[in-house]
A = this chain, B = another copy of it.
Amino acid sequence: MSVQERKERERAGRERLIVATARELAEQQGWDAVTTRRLAERIEYSQPVLYSHFRGKREIIGAVALQGASEMAVALRAATAAADGPRARVAALAHGYLDFAERNPAVYDALFQLDGGLRYAREDTPGPLKDAFAALLECLGEVAGDAVPPGMFTEVFWASLHGIVTLTRAGRLLPEDTEQRVDLLVDRLAVL
């Protein structure tokens, strides 16, 4: 059976290559540039090979999103770990979130902007997505205040950050004032 195992390993490796290449291409030139032809050419296989791993382009986006969600969870926990006290923790979380979005715009798009065929806010939501939300919740839950459920507070805070990210990147907001916007959000929304 060793032959079959080797084949499966190779197959899994190629799948990782596809996801990594799609992500790289998207970060370099945007998701519009990630066409099945270009992607196939970069991994040095023909187009149909992509479809033996994924149902379509959407699923490839979804795979990048899942990978990104795991990384985001790690990044957020790392950002908050060093901070002392609730105020500093929330501020660090917010900055960590914006930093991640700025450094990985294509991944951020895959996660929250594009259709990757993933289910959110449900029981069958994939683990990495739940975990990324959990990373937010761990930090924000303690500043929700008594009258507000931690989960809902986290959603609102998250939505606010997301709004800043998307409007800034779409040219609707100027990037210069991001710092002050985050401060305002932290000072007013969080109960310290």
Chain A positions near chain B (C-beta within 8 angstroms): 112-113, 119-121, 148, 152-153, 155-156, 158-164, 166-167, 170-174, 177, 180-181, 184-185, 188-189
Contacts and interface: CB of A to CB of B under 8 A. Distances in A.
Contacts of A172: 112, 120-121
A161 B166 CA distance: 12
A7 to B, nearest CB: 37
Contact of A121 (B119, B156, B164, B173): B173
Number of copies: 2
Contact of A181 (B155, B174, B185): B155
Taking each of A160, A163, A181, A185, which has the highest tally of chain B beta carbons within 10 Å of its own beta carbon?
Answer: A163
A185 B156 CA distance: 8
Return the 6 tightest CB-CB contacts between A and B, nearest first.
Answer: A163-B163, A159-B163, A160-B160, A162-B163, A159-B164, A120-B172
Contacts of A156: 160, 164, 181, 184-185
A184 B112 contact: no
